[in-house]
Amino acid sequence: MDRHSRSSSTASQKDFKDLPKVVLMVFARMIFAFLAQGIIALLFFRNVSHPLQAAAPWWPVYGTLIDVGCFLLLRHWSAETLADLIQFNRKLLFKDFFSGLKMILWVFPLAMGGIVSFSLIFFNSPQPPEIYQPLPFWAAIYSLTVFPLIWALMEQTTYQGYALNQLTALFQHKGPSVALVTFGWGIQHIALPFIADWRYLLYRFLSFLPLAALMCIVYMRKKRLVPFITAHWLLDAAGVFSGMILPTILQ
């Protein structure tokens, strides 16, 4: 084996030492979600009959703990800063923002298509279980103003900005990288929030898979993360408003 082959093999082995932490990052948000819901249930709802279920509506509030956990992992494991991971470019900010607005035109129908289709399959109704529920005023305002932006920023950065790019570099193929990230991104939703019902869990997992796959594929072509963050932020804010704020107003 010549010097070049030995150095290439050593570099490859060194790169694949990073694989476990990248794979762990794919599932980190789900793990943090389970932990956060369990901690909130233990601290605030241990005296009720179903503490995990009682904690579930609060996930847009404790969801920030998930984002903090992922931020700390990325800061420790990634050689790039958060700004680098999202490919932030001040000169392209307005262009990226308006690209995100246009992206809603296909993200929203695809998301709703998955939600309605799998709701029909598992619940015999196009109306899915509501994951955003009325909360006290301060929590509702937090869920509308703070949660969607931080959540969109860290979720897209975790799955696309970090995991998808790292896996593609390690595997040297887009297919396995897209498949793994799509699976991890989809399975995350069983813990947002976790409810011990097999139909709900399958519905949450499967309904997001088509959108997760397409977002990975489109990102691999465009390599601009801010439009995805923008679309995700606005759609989550709309979801909070319709599921949490509007019912309170109409009461």
How far apart CA 120 and CA 139 sit, in angstroms, is 31
Q: DSSP string spanning 2-50?
A: -HHHHHHHHHHHHHHTTHHHHHHHHHHHHHHHHHHHHHHHHHHSTTSS-
CB-CB contact of 60 with 191 (8 Å): no
Going through 48-179 in order, the beta strands assigned E by DSSP cover: none
Q: How many DSSP H helices and E strands does the chain contain? A: 13, 0
Structure tokens at 33: 């979600």
Per-residue pLDDT 10s for the chain (251 aa) are 444 444 334 334 546 788 999 999 999 999 999 999 999 999 998 888 889 999 999 999 999 999 999 999 999 998 888 989 988 888 998 999 999 999 999 999 999 999 999 999 999 999 888 899 889 999 999 999 999 999 999 999 999 999 999 999 998 889 999 999 999 999 999 999 999 999 999 999 999 999 999 999 999 998 899 999 999 999 999 999 988 888 777 76
Identify the pLDDT of residue 247. 78
Angle of helix 137-145 versus helix 147-156 axis, rounded to 10: 40
CB-CB contact of 170 with 22 (8 Å): yes
Identify the pLDDT of residue 3. 43
This prediction's pTM: 0.90
How far apart CA 194 and CA 138 sit, in angstroms, is 23
- Distances, alpha carbon 236 to alpha carbons 16, 93, 199, in Å: 35, 20, 23
Identify the pLDDT of residue 68. 97
Identify the pLDDT of residue 88. 86
Contacts 24+ apart (CB under 8 A), 32-37: 32/65, 32/66, 32/69, 32/70, 33/59, 33/63, 33/66, 33/188, 33/191, 33/192, 33/193, 33/194, 34/191, 34/194, 36/62, 36/63, 36/65, 36/66, 37/62, 37/191, 37/193, 37/194
Q: Where are the domains of the chain?
A: 18-250
How far apart CA 62 and CA 56 sit, in angstroms, is 10
Structure tokens at 14: 């060194």
Cβ neighbourhood burial of 11 (10 Å; 0-12, 13-18, 19+)? exposed
Identify the pLDDT of residue 15. 65
- Distances, alpha carbon 71 to alpha carbons 17, 89, 91, 125, 245, in Å: 21, 20, 25, 38, 28
